[in-house]
A and B are shown apart, each in its own frame.
Chain A
Amino acid sequence: MERTTASATRLTRRAAFSLGGGLALSIPAFRRLRAAETLFVNTWGGPWERAAAKHLFEPFTRETGADIRPVSPVSFAKLAAQVRSGAYEFDVTTLGLAELVRAHRANLLESLDSLKDRVNWRGGLYLNGVASHAFATVLAWNQQKYGDAPRTWKDFWDLARFPGSRCLQRYAARVLPIALAGDGVPTDKLYPLDIERAFRALDRIKPSLRVWWTQGQQSAQLLRDGEVDMIGIWHGRVIELMDDNKPVTMTWEGGQIDRAYWVVARGTPRRDLARRFVEAAVQPERLAGFCKEALYGPLNPNSFAYVSEADAVRMPTSPQNYPKVFEQDIENFGGDVTQVTSRFERWVGA
Chain B
Amino acid sequence: MRAVASPATGDAGFAVPAARGTWRPWLLVAPLLAFLAAFFLVPLGQVLVMSVTDPEPGFGHFVAIATDGFFLRVLAQTFATALLVAVLTLLLGFPLAYAMAEAGPRMAALMMVLVTMSFWTSFLVRTYAWMVILGKSGPIAWLSATLLGGAPPELLFTRFSSTLAMVHILIPYMVLSLYAALRRIEPAVLRSAASLGAPPVSVFRHVILPLAAPGVVNGLTLVFVLCLGFYVTPVLIGSPREQMIAGVIGHQVEEFLAFGEASALSVVLLASTMIVLGVYHRRFGLDRLWG
Q: Do chains A and B touch in the complex (CB under 8 A)?
A: yes
Contacts of B255 in A (CB 8 A): 76-77, 345
**A349 within 8 A of partner (CB):** yes
Q: Which positions 233-258 of chain B face chain A at CB distance < 8 Å? A: 239-241, 243, 248, 251, 253-257
Interface size class of A (residues with CB under 8 A): 20 to 34
Whether the pair B70, A1 counts as a contact (CB closer than 8 A) is no
B248 is contacted by which of A2, A212, A349 (Cβ under 8 Å)?
A349
Q: Which of B17-25, B46-54, B105-113, B213-221 participates in binding chain A?
A: B46-54
Chain A residues whose CB sits within 8 angstroms of the CB of B259 once the complex forms: 1
Return A21 CB to nearest CB of chain B, in Å.
11
Contacts beyond the supplied A225-B136, A349-B240, A349-B251: 7 A-B pairs with Cβ under 8 Å: A2-B50, A75-B254, A227-B135, A342-B256, A345-B255, A348-B241, A349-B248
**CA A84 to CA B152, docked complex, whole Å:** 47
A247 within 8 A of B: no
Least CB distance from B130 to A in Å reads 14
How many Å lie between the Cα of A77 and that of B262 in the bound state? 14
Q: Which chain B residue lies CB-closest to A214?
A: B255
Residues of A within 8 A of B70 (CB): 346, 349-350
Within the complex, the shortest CB–CB distance from B145 to chain A, in Å, comes to 11
Q: In the complex the two chains form, is B257's CB within 8 Å of A77's CB?
A: yes
Give A53-88 as 1s and 0s: 1 = Cβ < 8 Å from B's Cβ atoms.
000000000000000000000011110110010000
Please tell me which one of the listed residues B50, B69, B154, B248 contacts residue A165 in the complex, with CB atoms under 8 A apart.
B154
In the complex, the chain A residue whose C-beta lies closest to that of B46 is A2
Whether the Cβ atoms of A227 and B136 lie closer than 8 Å is: yes
Distance between Cα atoms of A209 and B240 in the complex (Å): 9
Residues of B within 8 A of A78 (CB): 254
| B residues 123-160 in Cβ contact with A at 8 Å | 135-137, 152, 154, 156-158
The complex places the Cα of A206 from the Cα of B242 at a distance, in Å, of 13
Q: How far is the CA of A211 from the CA of B251 in the complex (A)?
A: 15
Which residues 220-239 of A have a CB within 8 angstroms of B?
A: 225-227
Give Cα distance in the complex from A81 to B251, angstroms: 13
Residue of B nearest to A76 (CB): B255
- Measured in the bound complex, the distance between the Cα atoms of B256 and A165 in whole Å is 28
Question: Judging by beta carbons under 8 Å apart, are A1 and B157 in contact?
Answer: no
Q: Which residues of A contact B53 (CB under 8 A)?
A: 2, 4
22 A-B residue pairs with Cβ-Cβ distance under 8 Å, sorted by A, are A1-B259, A2-B46, A2-B50, A2-B53, A2-B54, A77-B253, A77-B254, A77-B256, A77-B257, A81-B257, A209-B240, A210-B157, A211-B156, A225-B135, A226-B136, A226-B137, A226-B152, A227-B135, A227-B156, A227-B157, A345-B255, A348-B241
Chain A residues within 8 Å of B136, by CB: 225-227
Q: How many A-B residue pairs have CB under 8 A?
A: 59
Please, which residue of chain A has its CB at the minimum distance from the CB of B42?
Answer: A13
CB–CB A2/B137 < 8 A: no
Q: Which residues of A contact B74 (CB under 8 A)?
A: 349
Taking CB atoms, residues of chain A closer than 8 Å to B183 are none
A221, closest chain B residue (CB): B135
Binary A-proximity of B254-270 (CB < 8 A = 1, otherwise 0): 11110100000000000
Please give, as numbers and ranges, the residues of chain A lying within 8 Å of B46 by CB-CB distance: 2
What are the interface flags for A325-347 relative to B under an 8 Å C-beta threshold, 1 for contact and 0 otherwise?
00000000000000000100110
| Shortest beta-carbon distance from B121 to chain A in Å | 23
Which residues from A are CB-within-8-Å of B50?
Answer: 1-2
Give CA–CA (A193, B127) in the complex, Å.
40
Given contacts A211-B157, A346-B70, contact A225 B240 (CB under 8 A): no
- Chain A residue nearest in CB terms to B255: A77
Q: Are A349's CB and B243's CB within 8 A?
A: yes
Collect the chain A residues with CB atoms within 8 Å of residue B256's CB: 77, 342, 345
Interfacial chain A residues near B157, Cβ < 8 Å: 210-211, 227
B254 touches A1 (CB 8 A): no
Looking at the assembled complex, report how far the CB atom of A340 sits from the nearest CB atom of chain B, in whole angstroms.
13
Q: Which of A210, A342, A349 interacts with B154 by CB under 8 Å?
A: A210
Q: How would residues 55 to 95 of chain B score, 1 for a CB under 8 Å from any chain A CB and 0 otherwise?
A: 00000000000000110011000000000000000000000
Q: Are B137 and A350 in contact (CB under 8 A)?
A: no
Q: Closest residue of chain B to A348, judged by CB? A: B240
A residues 292-350 in Cβ contact with B at 8 Å: 342, 345-346, 348-350
Decide: B240 and A345 in contact? CB cutoff 8 A.
no
* Nearest CB on B from A40, distance (A): 18
Interface string of B9-44 (1 = CB under 8 A from A): 000000000000000000000000000000000000
Q: Which residues of B contact A212 (CB under 8 A)?
A: 240
Q: Which of A75-118 contact B (CB under 8 A)?
A: 75-78, 80-81, 84
Nearest residue (CB) in B for A84 is: B257
A225 CB to closest chain B CB (Å) equals 5
Cβ distance B123 to chain A, nearest Cβ, rounded Å: 20
> Is B257 touching A211 in the complex (CB atoms < 8 A)?
no
Complex interface: chain B residues within 8 A of A342 (CB): 256
Closest Cβ neighbor of A142 among chain B residues: B136
Q: Which of A80, A165, A348 contacts B257 (CB 8 A)?
A: A80
Chain A residues lying within 8 Å of B239, measured Cβ to Cβ, are 210
- Chain B residues positioned under 8 Å from A227 (CB to CB): 135-136, 156-157
List of B residues within 8 angstroms of A75 by Cβ: 254
Instruction: Please list the 8 inter-chain residue pairs (A to B) with the smallest Cβ-Cβ separation, ordered nearest first.
Output: A226-B136, A211-B157, A225-B137, A77-B255, A227-B136, A349-B243, A210-B157, A77-B254
